[in-house]
Structure 1
């Protein structure tokens, strides 16, 4: 359903609308209960799911090569094994090392990236594990938790020499209908960090005024009328951590703690009064730490939640606008990949997660997640048309194409409090550009 964009008789502009469908049910933790279960079960569920998928792809990859398990390997015999990669890292932080006496004299400064030349990969399935080697499977690219199919043979030293590797690949994509359509825009913003020293209330108010059509002349307002939704991708507030020490708070501290959330609610009310808005939790927001983060409680937003245009959503967030599928996170999955692997840019990490068909492959090894027992909610079943990630250093975007003709718009959303940059996406053609408020953008 959409409204006319032309001026009516009384000179008012009508805002366009887009049909919204939430697909977040897979990220909701409702009937699950923690009963002391271990994380081995989510790894088993992931391996079972991915192995079934990889087996279905083998006939088109190497149909004449025998498939076996790790325990069934024979020295010098060519075969294919499917399993989960584990990356042995020399510099990976360990809680045991934190408390060891040997480390007491060692500086606690942590490197930005934990890569080391001696890192190596191990493949494991239910039957066992084996160290993999060769020039095809680079430890700098892969991380713990990725399920792959490896073609090679066992060496005399007990390692598996890899000759070729097959990933799950970018999943099937539901094709968007080719039609002329009209421009409809989605605004992405993250890292508002209201309450922090870097937050500028004026910049955010300018963004709100632009979205709601209170800035510019008639031409700019007609463009603003084509904005159909606002997505806030995490880290909306910054709460002073020093106050959260488990003790009862005085009235002054209570005010300091709640003030950023109250200010956010006021701003969201201005947006929700005129346009649908989705807010996702981030690592600094008052939400659960582990993925999938559950929606921020509506009681935090007494004013804005009164509007039916306001939606508190989980992280990751999967939804559909008209015929366009969108998937995004608040940035934890990509930030964690950056610590344990190398890439030319953040967009390459996004592309890898699509090729691996897993939003957060490092969970639960180095990225906290709920210990699911019978499913892995981070598996990417169908390819989104737009894949976004919030709280990044700078704005980046790229259009990638899959082997089956899939087209995906990758977007890195910068922290608004530091850059003053929001991102605009056109649903009609997936074109994307940055919108800067109060700062230069190069």
Structure 2
């Protein structure tokens, strides 16, 4: 990774009168998928049971995990006893070697219970996030179960401690039932990565069946820029770093001579949530003699204390760079959007300057060409420069980490999880084929009835998650695929080199803490980081 350094001679100079040749930004081929677009508000239904979502997930992923289990365990035997497959978890018999497929359910002592919240009338707002759902002082309180439409089966064995599992994951387990009625696990298999479309080709599962528009190849490859956690508060404290980011994206930072770092090669900017930071309410001087000061607030909201500065700053930031670069904007948990997943796009009315660059049609419409500025959902997936992308603003990884044990020797919860752990969680999600497995159990989501949008229908080329503590990246490949008896009726007619998927994982840091912008090369998918940092006088010494 190379970095260009601008000297003092590049700034604060009078106009030289020198004419510079025009520079043109690399074109962007962009085709969003509207996988997570919910029906209009008046057509959304919340009377359904959330349990149906798990049955949909099991029905969809069961054939895939059965295939992996069959390939791994067919012919497997212990003491001349051959492992057999059982169809339901309640068909397991004590002492018989078998394997079965089901949904993981974890009963954890600190896991939130919506029934308790309703019983205590705590349903008006989301509960505060917890650092963990585990009780380090009582490790035996953790129960891992496997369930399907017939019932539940409690799992046991040392392998469970070495394998990261969370509620909602579809797995196949090999083992036998012991005298206590628990299933002693010998081995665990997951669905693994789905098939991956070739670059510039749509997946067969896409609802839109049109071809991707290729861009003309240039001497230098373009780059896709990713940033998350801008954390705008509307104060002067976060203005300088954002100004450096703006000037870099617009090409004002004196690095145009460096071809590898030239911002003209950036074809699109993707903002992965939490563009707004901690917003302080306004404190206004009020007349103490005003008798209405103790009047009840309408809908529990005091409009006089609303601080519009952060959203105004975001609108100004977007409108300043939009004439030069196309932007995809995802909401986050701190942004003005619905709290439950999938979060719908930030309403255009809140961005009066930036919305001028939106498409003229309805947001999320599949019949309308996307605009130069596309405010999308969270999660989001689509095609950029021929590659398939899937991204989230970070809630999925944060919630999975609450299922993992990071206690020290004394049983105290620590901040031991780091960027490496989070990138491994992202890898696990891909192999689970479920990117938000803990929804709806511990992560709020819409009660889907006909499909589960969090299941990966096709494998992305770039899988990114925003608002993480550190930048991390790695490449994940699927396990080699073997055809049983030379054929597989569920497998499309593809060549052998298309059977294995290869994904670039990118963990995006919070910009307001790290000042880091991530660039992904559109030809090689190699990743580099551009860091913006302010040096004080003492640091310069």
Same fold (TM over 0.5): yes
CA contact (8 A) 2:46 2:447 kept: no
Deviates more, 1:65-74 or 1:109-118: 109-118
How much does 1:53 deviate?
A: 2.2
The residue that corresponds to 2:154 in the other structure is: 131
Within the alignment, does 1:80 sit opposite 2:99 as a pair? yes
Alignment counterpart, residue 225 of structure 2, candidates 187, 194, 215? 187
How much does 1:348 deviate?
A: 0.5
How much does 1:347 deviate?
A: 0.2
The residue that corresponds to 2:445 in the other structure is: 369
Higher Cα radius of gyration: 2
Within the alignment, does 1:429 sit opposite 2:524 as a pair? yes
The residue that corresponds to 2:167 in the other structure is: 144
User: Structure 2 matches for 1:205-284, cutoff 5 A?
Assistant: 205-220=243-258, 223-238=262-277, 240=279, 246-247=299-300, 249=302, 253-254=305-306, 256=307, 258-284=308-334
Deviates more, 1:242-251 or 1:292-301: 242-251
Measured in 2, the distance between the counterparts of 1:95 and 1:60 equals 40
Indicate the SS of the match to 2:102: strand
Residue 16 to residue 364, structure 1, CA distance change in 2 (3 Å)? same
Measured in 2, the distance between the counterparts of 1:408 and 1:198 equals 39
Unaligned segments of structure 2, at least 5 residues: 1-18, 76-83, 121-126, 201-216, 283-296, 358-370, 406-416, 481-499, 536-541
Residue 198 to residue 246, structure 1, CA distance change in 2 (3 Å)? farther
How much does 1:362 deviate?
A: 0.5
Measured in 2, the distance between the counterparts of 1:181 and 1:58 equals 47
**What does the per-residue CA deviation read over 1:193-236, in whole Å, with 9 as the maximum and x for residues that have no partner?**
11177951111111111111122143148811110000111011
Residue 91 to residue 218, structure 1, CA distance change in 2 (3 Å)? closer
Alignment counterpart, residue 314 of structure 1, candidates 372, 377, 380? 377
Deviates more, 1:217-226 or 1:339-348: 217-226
Residue 186 to residue 286, structure 1, CA distance change in 2 (3 Å)? same
Deviates more, 1:195-204 or 1:376-385: 195-204
Measured in 2, the distance between the counterparts of 1:26 and 1:35 equals 19
Indicate the SS of the match to 1:151: strand
Aligned length in residues:
421
The residue that corresponds to 2:63 in the other structure is: 52
Measured in 2, the distance between the counterparts of 1:392 and 1:298 equals 27
How much does 1:323 deviate?
A: 2.2
Alignment counterpart, residue 54 of structure 2, candidates 43, 52, 62? 43
Q: Give the TM-score normalised by structure 2.
A: 0.72
Residue 69 to residue 91, structure 1, CA distance change in 2 (3 Å)? same
Measured in 2, the distance between the counterparts of 1:109 and 1:377 equals 26
Superposition RMSD on alpha carbons, in Å? 2.8
**What does the per-residue CA deviation read over 1:148-173, in whole Å, with 9 as the maximum and x for residues that have no partner?**
01111211211111111110012222
Indicate the SS of the match to 1:417: helix
CA contact (8 A) 1:387 1:409 kept: yes
Deviates more, 1:280-289 or 1:417-426: 417-426
Q: Give the TM-score normalised by structure 1.
A: 0.88
Measured in 1, the distance between the counterparts of 2:116 and 2:351 equals 42
Measured in 2, the distance between the counterparts of 1:398 and 1:338 equals 19
How much does 1:68 deviate?
A: 2.6
CA contact (8 A) 1:68 1:79 kept: no
The residue that corresponds to 1:20 in the other structure is: 30
Indicate the SS of the match to 1:45: helix
How much does 1:392 deviate?
A: 1.0
Measured in 1, the distance between the counterparts of 2:299 and 2:231 equals 23
Within the alignment, does 1:112 sit opposite 2:116 as a pair? no
**What does the per-residue CA deviation read over 1:12-59, in whole Å, with 9 as the maximum and x for residues that have no partner?**
111111211111x22010166215111011111111111122233344
